Chains A and B, each alone.
Chain A
Amino acid sequence: MLNYTIRRLFFVLFVVWGVSVATFFLSQVVPGDPALVALGDKATDEMIANFRVKNGLDKPVVAQYFSYVGRLLQGDLGTSLRTGRPIIDDLRDFFPGTLELSITALLIAALIGIPAGILAALNQNRPPDFIIRFLALIGGATPIYWLAILLLEFLHNKLRILPGPGRLDAYLIAPTRVTGFVGIDALLARDWQVFGDSLAHLILPAFVLGAFSSALLARMTRASMLETLSQDFIRTARSKGVSQSQVVIKHALRNAFLPVLTVLGGVLGGLLSGAVLTETIFSWPGVGRYTTDAAISLDFPAVMGVTLLAGMAYSIINLVTDLLYALFDPRITYA
């Protein structure tokens, strides 16, 4: 297991290196001139030349790549052309927002998707199964930005039961930043009004972001549960007179959960993608919106920084899922 973990860690390093090459290559095909993007149309030739020397843009591509990697190794992702700040600082500000949103979305997806999948499997080919399968099919095909627009219109604009875009109501003052998670920071500051408001603001975007994943999880759980329920050991348990609830809870769930676990990692990665759309619509100050804004203004150092970190995060999530898989299933051993 230790050997396997070390091997996988090397693999993560390799993938991160590959991701750095890929993102660097991408930044080289950008049609816009980064100097013009940073300095604006009114920049003089001298200003542009200075900018290019200062940022190493006048050097050959290979030299640019090596200096890029050298800076990366020191934790320097470069400076954003748009905000003028170190990208790592920008991401430190925006990352908690995305993490808060993604984790809540994952929780919602799991709380809806997994029980729905179990319920469907236990009622195979009966009305609850049909309804859940139908909803899962629709959930998996709905464009989440439309769902977001609709829910904002009805629950916020019309019924006024949930707050609109943003992380807090405009009249509230954000708590002093400690963790970057508004809810936790409000708790630390014992500001109950801000805490309640931040939770209320989280509901809609997290539900929208989790909807697609809950459909996926429901389908996976149902399939996996049906597969498990048809196995011999379940039949044996039943023939011994074990009650239905015991069969499900003690025998089936644990085994059915394994394949579900493997998609959870993918789901978290999918949430990072979904955050791009959700954060844009809900004006949510997270990495997704930061990336969209950066890409729109051709701020390629920032796009590269996010893509690199996202690739890294994704590889680590996959590693953790694989290790968890081994933990949950004693039959799996990694040499």
Chain B
Amino acid sequence: MLNAALPAKKQASKASRRFWRNPAAIVGLVLITLLVLIAALASVISPDPIVQNLSNRLLPPSSEHWLGTDQLGRSVWGRVAHGAALSLQVGVIVTLISVSVGVLVGLLAGTFGGIWDNVLMRVTDIFFAFPSLILAMAIAAALGPSLTNTIIAVAIVNWPSYARLVRAQALALREREFVEAARAIGTSRLGIALRHVLPNTLTPVLIQASFDIGQAILTAAGLSFIGFGAQPPTPEWGAMVSETRNFISEAPWASSAPAIAILLAVLAFNLVGDGLRDALDPRNTH
């Protein structure tokens, strides 16, 4: 946690300076910016991802087809670029849902304690007991394979870690002087939760969330790879690797380009996550 002795403004500027001096974090940020730009401008800067042209099957990368073509003659660059928006959406929406649910549950459990804490945390424990991909696959299979259901499945798998994180923070804060002071002047428990506990849990949540966006992209792509996520011809990266895997010897670019896109996206969010942790939580830095 941040050093409580320093005023908040000074801490923030120190943290921001530490972040901007971290070359790995800047690389991550540049990669994310590039991804967002590609996602936003995909239809302007890349060809149609769906239109097939069988006379152009499995062409190697060239000035006309930057990343070559796949087994149906579609531009791999077009598909990777259009897939960027899908993957980013999945990563961000999954994380938003998991953060909202997890923070709410953790805050209620940590601030109200007693029966609330017991019931909510036991539910959290049950969700923690599943290996993530098996649970996500079961949910995606139950709801039917689609990108929306993948988002729901991965969010259900991801929220418990936020609940634990926020609860632990809330418990630690409960003993702090400023919370005791708030209690002494008669602030309600809800008021304490919203005004004092919530703002102080945002830093660890932000750090965790930046890692989780990348992990959500990786899990969702894995689900699509085994057939439970986006369905063809959707240009989703995991599904693209799966569709083109049988052509790896003739056209390695067709499956490698989306796979490298996944790698770079996950890497970018991990680097930013590392950078944020190092900047905001220097005691945990190595």
* A interface residues, Cβ below 8 angstroms from B: 11, 14-16, 18-19, 21-23, 26-27, 29-31, 137-138, 140-143, 145-146, 149-150, 153, 157-158, 222-223, 226-227, 269-270, 272-274, 276-277, 280, 291-292, 295-296, 298, 300, 303-304, 306-307, 310-312, 314-315
Ranked nearest first, the 6 interchain pairs of A and B with the lowest CB-CB distance are A18-B126, A273-B133, A146-B259, A295-B141, A141-B266, A272-B131
What's the nearest-Cβ distance from chain A to residue B269, in Å? 9
In the complex, the chain A residue whose C-beta lies closest to that of B261 is A143
Separation of A304 and B241 alpha carbons in the complex (Å): 28
In the complex, the chain B residue whose C-beta lies closest to that of A16 is B129
Q: Which of B126, B127, B131, B252 contacts A310 (CB 8 A)?
A: B131
The answer to whether A143 and B226 touch across the interface, beta carbons within 8 angstroms, is no
B255 contacts across to A, CB distance below 8 A: 146, 149
Separation of A138 and B263 alpha carbons in the complex (Å): 7
Known: A31-B142, A273-B132. 14 other contacts (CB 8 A): A14-B125, A137-B270, A141-B266, A141-B270, A145-B222, A149-B255, A157-B249, A222-B286, A226-B286, A298-B141, A303-B138, A307-B134, A311-B126, A312-B129
The answer to whether B226 and A276 touch across the interface, beta carbons within 8 angstroms, is yes
Name the residue in B122, B141, B228, B248 with the highest tally of chain A Cβ atoms < 10 Å from its Cβ: B141
Instruction: Count residues of chain B with CB under 8 A from any CB of chain A.
Output: 46
B253 contacts across to A, CB distance below 8 A: none
* B interface residues, Cβ below 8 angstroms from A: 122-123, 125-127, 129-135, 137-144, 214, 218, 221-222, 225-228, 238, 241-242, 245, 248-249, 252, 255-256, 259, 262-264, 266-267, 270-271, 286
Separation of A31 and B149 alpha carbons in the complex (Å): 13
The answer to whether A276 and B137 touch across the interface, beta carbons within 8 angstroms, is yes
| Majority-rule SS of A interface residues | helix
Q: Which of A21, A30, A292 contacts B142 (CB 8 A)?
A: A30
In the complex, the chain B residue whose C-beta lies closest to that of A277 is B222
The answer to whether B134 and A272 touch across the interface, beta carbons within 8 angstroms, is yes
Separation of A275 and B264 alpha carbons in the complex (Å): 23
Q: Which of B129, B139, B238 contacts A15 (CB 8 A)?
A: B129
Separation of A110 and B133 alpha carbons in the complex (Å): 22
In the complex, the chain B residue whose C-beta lies closest to that of A295 is B141
Q: A18-B123, A143-B225, A276-B226 are in contact. Are A295 and B138 (CB under 8 A)?
A: yes
A306 contacts across to B, CB distance below 8 A: 134
B248 contacts across to A, CB distance below 8 A: 149-150, 153
